[in-house]
Amino acid sequence: MAGVDTDRFRTLLLEEREKVERALGNLHDENPGSIEDEEEETFDNHLGDAATITFDRELDSTLEENSGRMLAAIDEALKRLEEGTFGTCARCGQPIAEARLEAMPYATKCIDCKRLEERG
């Protein structure tokens, strides 16, 4: 895309990728075992304790899934940079505003097309 500083956006994407990978690493460090392992470590095994453990693990699982999707989106954006299609809306083919790319460098749609998509 003409006018977009691809080096700057590559740097932004790589920095964002590093942050997500660190967050994933922290999630894995905090929860190295399974739910069953953690439940066995609790002393009383009250129903409330088990529920708390399950909730925490489900939350972590959701965060991990979201992080995985974020990594995939970042990798796709890096691929678009290499292909020369970065900053072009996947729906309408128009340029994505630089302000949008600054806020979300892995965006695939311009703000108008994203709004249309969200309305259903």
CA gap 26, 4 in Å, rounded = 34
| 103 belongs to a structural domain | no
Domain count, the chain: 1
> CA-CA distances (angstroms) from residue 89 to 82, 93, 107?
16, 5, 8
Could you report the per-residue pLDDT of 73-98, keeping only the tens digit for each? 999 999 999 999 999 999 999 999 99
What is the DSSP code (8-state) at residue 95? B
> What is the domain extent for residue 14?
6-87
Task: For the chain, list the strands marked E by DSSP.
Answer: none
| 96 belongs to a structural domain | no
Could you report the per-residue pLDDT of 36-54, keeping only the tens digit for each? 555 455 555 667 777 777 7
| 101 belongs to a structural domain | no
CA gap 58, 33 in Å, rounded = 14
